[in-house]
């Protein structure tokens, strides 16, 4: 691993100066670790009685109180839901007392029962205590809480947090969205470092969180307001996944489960193991591993509109697609952690992470291509059959080496070097093919025919858009193709393969110093250097039957191949009444026959013409990004109730990207860009402790979002179709998007474990990045250019409300019930350019992309004795998903509202063995996009219900 020589020299110099200048003063320090029967306890208040000196245990359960005058003290430990603990200590000048492990036990109520009766309660206690004691506004989910919900990956785990929603892929959570901002505006981290992007196609900074199993996560910390010691590129918020660390004693947990997917009618398997222990007094280790295999399937129908046409014809429909997906997914993950205590005040640690996500899919897609206006033959169009076999493989791996050291009673120092890398490919390819990276195989067949519900202008519409009222009706658009689909009439028109590879690697070096100046002041400063290397490669090979080009060679037809009866298994869009099962082909190509067809195409040069796909470089780019950051911050207690935290972070970003330009004469030119910018990010946080259970908070922070690599990529492509020239290009002059963030929050924590909170947030945003479309019409034709550019400004305003309460005030059986609910309202505005039919530009007020107005989570739970159960609803309102600048707001793409309901329950057979059951998507909620208004669907997709039952063993 290579790091800047200047960085290492500075680190050595600072350590030398501090070690040389710091002498043992006349104050003392005390440290230790707090735990309970479940393990480490984070968020415990540790206070020296009679003083304002104290600390809060971190996620490792550790505390450290410094700058204490010599004398006799009582050290008091308090934690929601636990009995307080008091320890007598005696400190002498210069002493650094290590108390070792301090044990706490659950509280006992008036009836002599243990308060901790439910299986998720210890998780909530940990999470709420961390939130309560944090200096910034954040939400926390602990590992055992994640495990009690039917959430199988990192994205699904955080969807229960106020202000967090997720985007799904084939029914499973994939991307996390914080406070309704674009996905790229939030940062996804592991142990404080940005995760490399998994997006291989579009070149964004998006991180697909479905690669991380929940079993590897110890905490998920969602920070809504950043402090200067956190990475600054997070406008929406920062989601930091803390992997499991070495335990204080023996831990051995095993989970085994089997499941079923109603759509594919297939079985799934899920298993995990967590083992950790200590060897002697100095060394601890942990190994956790998880594997989840599941079949999946979805039914989908889509409509493509002619929104680039002027006037009412922009609502005509060009194409209808009926898709049937079926595949398998396998997620595997391993987490390793070890810590060695050099002495009572110093340790070194190592962590490793390895995750893989393998997704296969086999797709049958029927397309109906409708007539395209008065210049075409009336009612004439075609039906197409597309078959696609694909495999996508994503691999995330890396590790960290670091240390934590107390240099003197007032000084702490920590350091870390880390590397994380993502490799994303379009499968492992078909080894029979000449191209080893051909992860996606495609075949296309076509049959011509006419349609019976074409409008008077020879376009296809919904009936309410049609000039003469003729068109589609009802919920399921009917193509009304006049000919039966016939395997003997479906001519092969295209076959080929697509492959892509992405590699993105982050190497990071960092250090932090903390200084405890006495009763009121704490300071922290540090630096961080990150080197990111990214490369993408896309390749494609397509073949056209020579018979279509006039050669005396027979054109293959669909019936030439091995066809089998089409089994829809869970039904094809049965939720809509199975409207298409009598329209599509009843016989389908088997997966093996399809693969053999692709191999034959590659090996038959006398029967197929290989299309010229242009130089490989045009679909590839590589680049690097170097970020150097430094910060300084301080926390000052103005009095016993009011504390102030403020500081400044500065990040300098240097980017270098190599791209290409391909002109209309197929001339390729290589060139590179190297934009750079410096971001100055101040922050100020006020925390007022109204009493032991209530806080008022105010926060200001400045944060930013870096441009996507695809936006900066200088590659420029020109494609001419008749008298229309389409140009797509990057923009190396893009500015980062910046936001000034303001937050106000009030929170009250119930003594029997619960919280009620409410807050406001406002974001003043500048330099929003969007894809601008510029169109020029001359005597030579039309030139349309798509280029990312910056908008001037935008704003976002929101309200967050949260409530969690156990109904312990109810008698007997009813006292086991409880409610967990949160609601987020957001409103945003941004000025987006639009064009009228004459090509004149003006501005239109719109919302930000991916910003639902309403989000809520409601979970009704019951926990009493050995039983725990909960039904959880997650709602995400409709939102704007895509601007179509050239067409205007009537043609924007919207995501429709979505309500997903999940169920989980468990029963403790004994202290060590628990049986559980989980069901996802109880209501079989569809994914739905619409065109301008809700009555014009663009995409409707169903996934059906899935679930699993299993056993969890907690042997230690």
pLDDT 10s digits, 522-561: 999 999 999 999 988 878 889 999 999 989 999 999 999 9
The 8-class DSSP code of residue 547 comes to G
Query: Does the pLDDT of residue 425 top 80, yes or no?
Result: yes
Q: What is the pLDDT of residue 21?
A: 40
Q: What is the pLDDT of residue 113?
A: 44
> Could you report the per-residue pLDDT of 107-161, keeping only the tens digit for each?
755 434 444 434 566 667 777 888 888 889 988 887 665 555 567 788 888 888 8
Instruction: Dig out the tokens for 114 from the structure.
Output: 């243990």
Query: Does the pLDDT of residue 875 top 70, yes or no?
Result: yes
Q: What is the pLDDT of residue 119?
A: 52
- Please compute the mean of the pLDDT values over residues 18-29 and round it to a whole number: 54
Q: Are 650 and 679 in contact (CB under 8 A)?
A: yes
Q: What is the pLDDT of residue 629?
A: 97
Q: Count CB neighbours of 9 within 10 A.
A: 10
Give the least confident one: 372-376, 418-422, 677-681.
372-376
> Could you report the per-residue pLDDT of 766-792, keeping only the tens digit for each?
999 888 877 777 777 778 788 888 988
Instruction: Dig out the tokens for 702 from the structure.
Output: 């400045």
> Could you report the per-residue pLDDT of 881-920, keeping only the tens digit for each?
999 888 889 999 999 999 999 998 989 998 889 999 999 9
**d(C-alpha 41, C-alpha 36), whole Å:** 7
Query: Does the pLDDT of residue 4 top 60, yes or no?
Result: no
Query: Does the pLDDT of residue 9 top 60, yes or no?
Result: no
Q: What is the pLDDT of residue 839?
A: 65
Considering the chain, what percentage of its residues have pLDDT values greater than 70?
A: 92
Q: Residue-wise over 171-190: b if at least 16 C-beta within 10 A, else e?
A: bbbbbbbbbbbbbbbbbbbb
- Please compute the mean of the pLDDT values over residues 151-173 and round it to a whole number: 83
Instruction: Dig out the tokens for 188 from the structure.
Output: 């996804």
Q: What is the pLDDT of residue 428?
A: 55
pLDDT band at 299 (very low <50, low <70, confident <90, very high): very high
Query: Does the pLDDT of residue 795 top 80, yes or no?
Result: yes
Q: What is the pLDDT of residue 927?
A: 94
Q: What is the pLDDT of residue 53?
A: 81
- Please compute the mean of the pLDDT values over residues 610-626 and round it to a whole number: 79
Mean confidence (pLDDT) of the chain: 87
pLDDT band at 24 (very low <50, low <70, confident <90, very high): very low
Q: What is the pLDDT of residue 114?
A: 42
- Please compute the mean of the pLDDT values over residues 72-80 and round it to a whole number: 89
Q: Are 74 and 47 in contact (CB under 8 A)?
A: no
Which CA distances in Å does 81 have to 115, 227, 751, 951?
Answer: 7, 29, 7, 28
**d(C-alpha 655, C-alpha 699), whole Å:** 31
Query: Does the pLDDT of residue 661 top 80, yes or no?
Result: no
Q: Tell me the residue ranges of DSSP E strands in 548-603.
A: 563-565, 587-589
Q: What is the pLDDT of residue 530?
A: 96
**pLDDT, greater one: 590 or 335:** 335
Q: Are 841 and 804 in contact (CB under 8 A)?
A: no
- Please compute the mean of the pLDDT values over residues 647-669 and round it to a whole number: 85
CA neighbours closer than 13 Å in the CB half-sphere of residue 353: 30
**pLDDT, greater one: 12 or 101:** 101
């Amino acid at each position: 691993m290579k790091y800047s020589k200047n960085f290492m020299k500075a680190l050595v110099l600072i350590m030398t100066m501090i070690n040389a200048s710091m002498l043992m003063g006349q104050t003392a320090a005390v440290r230790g670790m707090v735990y309970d029967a479940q393990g480490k306890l984070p968020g415990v208040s540790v206070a020296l009685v009679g003083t304002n000196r104290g600390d809060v245990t971190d996620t490792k359960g550790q505390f450290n109180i410094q700058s204490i005058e010599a004398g006799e003290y009582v050290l008091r430990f308090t934690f929601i839901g636990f009995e307080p603990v008091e320890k007598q200590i005696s400190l002498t000048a210069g002493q650094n007392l290590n108390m070792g492990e301090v044990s706490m036990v659950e509280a006992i109520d008036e009836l002599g029962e243990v308060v901790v009766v439910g299986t998720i309660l210890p998780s909530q206690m940990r999470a709420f205590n961390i939130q309560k004691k944090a200096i910034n506004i954040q939400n926390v989910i602990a590992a055992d809480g994640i495990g009690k919900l039917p959430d199988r990956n990192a994205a699904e785990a955080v969807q229960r947090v106020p202000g967090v929603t997720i985007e799904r892929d084939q029914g499973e959570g994939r991307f996390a969205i914080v406070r309704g901002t674009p996905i790229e505006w939030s940062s996804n981290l592991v142990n404080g470092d940005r995760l490399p992007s998994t997006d291989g196609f579009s070149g964004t900074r998006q991180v697909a969180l479905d690669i991380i199993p929940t079993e590897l996560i110890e905490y998920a910390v969602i920070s809504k307001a950043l402090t200067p010691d956190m990475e600054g590129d997070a406008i929406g918020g920062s989601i930091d996944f803390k992997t499991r660390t070495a335990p204080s004693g023996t831990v051995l947990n095993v989970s085994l489960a089997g499941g079923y997917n109603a759509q594919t009618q297939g079985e799934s398997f899920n298993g995990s193991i967590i083992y950790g222990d200590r060897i002697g007094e100095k060394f601890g280790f942990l190994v956790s591993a998880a594997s989840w295999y599941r079949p999946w399937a979805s039914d989908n129908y889509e409509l493509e509109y002619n929104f680039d046409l002027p006037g009412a014809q922009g609502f005509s429909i060009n194409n209808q697609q009926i898709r049937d997906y079926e595949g398998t997914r396998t997620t595997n993950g391993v987490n390793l952690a070890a810590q060695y205590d050099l002495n009572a005040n110093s340790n070194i640690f190592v962590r490793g992470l390895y995750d893989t996500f393998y997704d296969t899919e086999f797709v049958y897609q029927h397309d109906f291509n409708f007539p395209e206006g008065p210049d075409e033959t009336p009612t004439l169009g075609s039906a197409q059959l597309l078959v696609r076999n694909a495999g996508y493989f994503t691999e995330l791996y890396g590790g960290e080496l670091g240390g934590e050291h107390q240099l003197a009673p007032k000084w702490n120092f920590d350091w870390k070097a880390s590397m994380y890398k993502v490799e994303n490919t379009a499968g492992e390819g078909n080894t029979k093919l000449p191209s080893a990276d051909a992860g996606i195989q495609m075949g296309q067949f076509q049959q011509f025919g006419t349609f019976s519900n074409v409008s008077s202008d020879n376009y296809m519409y919904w009936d309410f858009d049609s000039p003469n009222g003729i068109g589609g009706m009802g919920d399921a658009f009917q193509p009304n193709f006049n000919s039966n689909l016939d395997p003997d009439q479906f001519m092969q028109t295209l076959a080929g393969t697509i492959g892509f590879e992405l590699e993105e690697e982050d190497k990071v070096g960092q250090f932090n110093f903390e200084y405890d100046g006495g009763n009121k002041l704490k300071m922290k400063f540090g630096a961080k250097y990150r080197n990111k290397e990214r490369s993408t490669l896309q390749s494609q090979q397509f073949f056209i039957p020579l018979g279509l080009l006039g050669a005396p060679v027979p054109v293959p037809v669909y019936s030439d191949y091995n066809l089998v009866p089409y089994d829809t298994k869970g039904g094809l869009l049965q939720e809509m009444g199975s409207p298409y099962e009598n329209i599509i082909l009843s016989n389908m190509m088997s997966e093996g026959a399809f693969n053999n067809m692709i191999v034959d195409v590659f090996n038959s040069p006398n029967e197929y013409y290989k299309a010229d796909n242009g130089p490989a470089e045009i679909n590839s780019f590589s680049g690097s990004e170097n970020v150097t950051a430094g910060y300084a911050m301080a926390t000052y207690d103005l009095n016993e109730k009011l504390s102030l935290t403020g500081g400044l972070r500065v990040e300098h970003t240097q980017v270098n990207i190599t791209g290409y330009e391909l002109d209309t004469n197929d001339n390729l030119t290589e060139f590179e860009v190297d934009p750079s910018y410096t971001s100055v990010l101040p922050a100020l946080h006020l925390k007022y402790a109204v009493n032991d259970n209530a806080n008022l908070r105010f926060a200001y922070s400045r944060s930013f979002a870096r441009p996507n690599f695809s936006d900066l990529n200088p590659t420029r492509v020109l494609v001419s179709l008749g008298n229309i020239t389409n140009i797509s290009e990057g923009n190396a002059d893009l500015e980062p998007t910046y936001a000034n963030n303001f937050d106000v929050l009030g929170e009250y924590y119930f003594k029997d474990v619960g919280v009620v909170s409410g807050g406001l947030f406002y974001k003043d945003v500048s330099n929003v990045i969007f894809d601008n479309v510029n169109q020029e019409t001359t005597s030579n034709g039309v030139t349309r250019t798509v280029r990312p550019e910056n908008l001037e400004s935008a704003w976002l305003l929101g309200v967050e409300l949260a409530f969690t309460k156990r109904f312990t005030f109810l008698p007997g059986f009813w006292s086991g019930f409880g409610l967990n609910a949160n609601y987020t309202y957001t409103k945003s505005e941004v000025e987006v350019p639009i064009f009228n039919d004459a090509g004149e530009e003006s501005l239109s007020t719109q919302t930000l992309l991916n910003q639902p107005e309403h989000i809520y989570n409601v979970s009704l739970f019951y926990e009493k004795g050995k039983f725990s159960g909960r039904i959880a609803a997650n709602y995400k309102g409709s939102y704007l998903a895509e601007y179509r600048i050239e067409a205007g707001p009537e043609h924007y793409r919207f995501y429709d509202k979505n309500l997903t309901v999940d169920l989980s329950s468990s029963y403790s057979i004994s202290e060590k063995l628990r049986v559980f059951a989980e069901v996802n998507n109880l209501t079989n909620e569809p994914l739905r996009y619409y065109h301008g208004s809700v009555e014009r669907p663009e995409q409707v997709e169903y996934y059906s219900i899935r679930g699993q039952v299993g056993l969890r063993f907690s042997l230690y």
